Structure 1
Amino acid sequence: MVSETFADLLGQTTAIDLLSQAIAQAQIAPSYLFAGPSGVGRRLAALRFAECLLGNGLSLEPTTLRRRIASRNHPDLLWVEPTYLHKGKPVTAAEAEELDLKRKSPPQIRLEQIREIARFLARPTLEAPQAVVVIEGAETMAEAPANGLLKTLEEPGAATLILLAEDSAQLLPTIISRCQTIPFRRLAADTMSSILQQAGYAEILQRPDILAMAQGSPGQAISAWEQLNTIPDPILAALSRPPSTLRDALDTARQVSKELDIESQLWLVDYLQHMTWEQQRSPQPLQALEQARIHLRRFVQPRLVWEVTLMRFVQP
């Protein structure tokens, strides 16, 4: 049965019902928008939905088809994710890590990737009755790729496009209007606990700081836990309390800007905001950290950003 295909998608009853009904009634929309927080099952839902579409509506349980889709090794599936630009070519986050690239800005869906989608859909399918395109991080598209995608959404041909967006408000209204929205919600504490234990991350349940950052998203909890473990202990120790002198602030700023890439620094801003709020319950430090986030995203020199920010925290 179709519902069995979504058996491992926990806590998303509404999404499962909507997708199962579409398959059971053979009323598949040309495009879908899976909207909601990251780490709550949107990617897993896209995998399972693609399994149904490429398997012609059949529930095929763990089979060769499921493994091929998971490894992105199906000729009628195109999986697009935000990329960095390296030597004029887009590279995924995994590829950037392998190349040990120093990432200076967040990844995004680029115009060339949208053109690749158009080329992919222009050819006939090889195995399945239709093609499937999944676009992760759809909200990262700038205006040019968004307009290019709009043209594809108007005439997708024998295909279904699935857009995954954490913040659909950043998408063009015309894109949203051409998609059937499938809502994804943050998960209850018991569901969070079950997923984290099944995934082998039971230790996270003992970290209130990580759970507070995750806010009902097991994926975000796992990501935060793994990210926290990449931050050098001396930096975490230095930031666990306000700097006592200007020299301490400047030294910590130098360490952060030297040892962490921009994405790690942006994550650290989030972590410090949660930690500072729990410790002080004051809006002033949060505002200072938010300004740091804005400046980092605008490519202001990171060391300067952290120097100015941490000097504001020096205790008199």
Structure 2
Amino acid sequence: MFAPLVGQQQAVELLTQAVKHNRVAPAYLFVGPDGVGRSLAAQCWIELIFSTKLAPEQIPILQNQIRQRNHPALLWVEPTYQYQGQRLTAAEAAEKGVKRKAPPVIRLEQIRQITEFLSRPPLSAPRNIVVLEQVETMAEAAANALLKTLEEPGQATLILIAPSPESILSTLVSRCQRIPFYRLDNAGVAQVLTQTGHSEILQYPAILNIASGSPGSAIASYQQLQNIPQELLEQVAKIPSSQRQALEVAKKIDKELDTETQLWLIDYLQQSYWQLQHQPEMIAQLEKTRKNLLCYAQPRLVWECTFLALWQISKANTIR
């Protein structure tokens, strides 16, 4: 079942043994960097749990249901945007062309949906399973509501996916069995990118550096790169040569890129500028930009301040 998953031998062993010895816990925390296989491992493990009493000819149907996330005993929860009275996942928002001003979050209404789902007995499976991706995006009210569910999950297992134990409430962590996931080596990254039809990314060292052992992050970064007009990309890749140019580039970024792409651009610029000048002050300035964008400051003003500061840092270093 775990054949599509590259690396992560420790996680695979822990999860396989839990099913083999009939010791599946009520809650798990899949913890590790984005894009290294946590969601894929959850999918593979659910297939293993649900297939234990099925005939071989039924397994392909089961696998399709789980991959489509429409199995009656499975609820898969992702962070959402609120848009015109609807909750949209990141993929749905992109498909509808919704301009996103802030990252998506797991909402209290979604936790209530989990409670309702778990109030029913499992159908066509030995237990209900709920997967929550990016648990770190939950507000405190949603996290506290989830805590009550974790205390009495009933005939169910919850899988929480997060980058680190420190990113979520300690009370949630204490109720979960931890399954660690790690960054892949270069060969592992290349294998995943090739298997998934993204081998062209291997020709972009900057993208691989940003991904830092995470194939999923490499794919997401490459997709973000395609969202940025080439002319703008060439402009931001260089330190502004004047105050006027700094203001013009800031205006273009605000006009042409949504917030999600702007946040990714910070990672790209940190890599690019470090290669150009090796100035820690520039990296720190861009980190300040990230914090300001996440605090919902006016993006154009944030970028104007950023590029003016970068221009001043570059000018001061030239004078030295």
TM-score, normalisation: structure 1: 0.95
Query: What corresponds to 1:29 in structure 2?
Result: 25
- Once the two structures are superposed, what CA deviation does each residue of 1:184-225 show, in whole Å capped at 9, x if it has no partner? 000011111111111122222121111110110011011111
Residues 10-159 of structure 1 mapped to structure 2, 5 A cutoff: 10-56=6-52, 63-159=60-156
Of 273-282 and 213-222, deviating more is 273-282
- Once the two structures are superposed, what CA deviation does each residue of 1:249-286 show, in whole Å capped at 9, x if it has no partner? 11110000001111110110111112111222111101
Q: Write the distance in 2 (CA, Å) between the matches of 1:218 and 1:16.
A: 18
Q: What letter corresponds to residue 20 of structure 2 in structure 1?
A: A
From 154, 160, 163, give the equivalent of 2:160.
163
**CA gap 1:45/1:280 in 2 versus in 1, 3 angstroms:** same
From 219, 239, 244, give the equivalent of 2:241.
244
From 174, 177, 185, give the equivalent of 2:174.
177
Q: Write the distance in 2 (CA, Å) between the matches of 1:57 and 1:176.
A: 31
Runs of 4+ in 1 over 4 A off after TM superposition: 57-62
> Does 1:283 find its partner at 2:276?
no
Q: What letter corresponds to residue 162 of structure 1 in structure 2?
A: I
Q: What letter corresponds to residue 93 of structure 1 in structure 2?
A: A
Q: What letter corresponds to residue 247 of structure 1 in structure 2?
A: R
Q: Write the distance in 2 (CA, Å) between the matches of 1:51 and 1:57.
A: 11
Q: Write the distance in 1 (CA, Å) between the matches of 2:73 and 2:128.
A: 5
> Does 1:229 find its partner at 2:229?
no
Q: What letter corresponds to residue 290 of structure 1 in structure 2?
A: E
Percent identity between matched residues is 52
Query: What corresponds to 1:215 in structure 2?
Result: 212
Q: What's the offset of the Cα at 1:25? A: 0.5
Query: What corresponds to 1:272 in structure 2?
Result: 269
Aligned partner of residue 71 in structure 2, secondary structure = coil
**CA gap 1:168/1:90 in 2 versus in 1, 3 angstroms:** farther
Segments of structure 2 that go 5 or more residues without pairing to the other structure are 316-320
> Does 1:313 find its partner at 2:310?
yes
**CA gap 1:252/1:65 in 2 versus in 1, 3 angstroms:** same
Aligned length: 312
Aligned partner of residue 65 in structure 2, secondary structure = helix
TM-score, normalisation: structure 2: 0.94
Query: What corresponds to 2:318 in structure 1?
Result: none
Q: Write the distance in 1 (CA, Å) between the matches of 2:61 and 2:78.
A: 23
Q: Does the CA contact (< 8 Å) of 1:102 and 1:261 recur in 2?
A: yes
Q: Write the distance in 2 (CA, Å) between the matches of 1:184 and 1:311.
A: 40
- Once the two structures are superposed, what CA deviation does each residue of 1:160-205 show, in whole Å capped at 9, x if it has no partner? 1001112331211110010000000000111111111111222221
- Once the two structures are superposed, what CA deviation does each residue of 1:35-61 show, in whole Å capped at 9, x if it has no partner? 000111001000011112222376969
Q: Does the CA contact (< 8 Å) of 1:40 and 1:218 recur in 2?
A: yes
Q: What letter corresponds to residue 11 of structure 1 in structure 2?
A: G
Q: What's the offset of the Cα at 1:68? A: 0.6
Aligned partner of residue 134 in structure 1, secondary structure = strand
Segments of structure 1 that go 5 or more residues without pairing to the other structure are none
Of 302-311 and 160-169, deviating more is 160-169
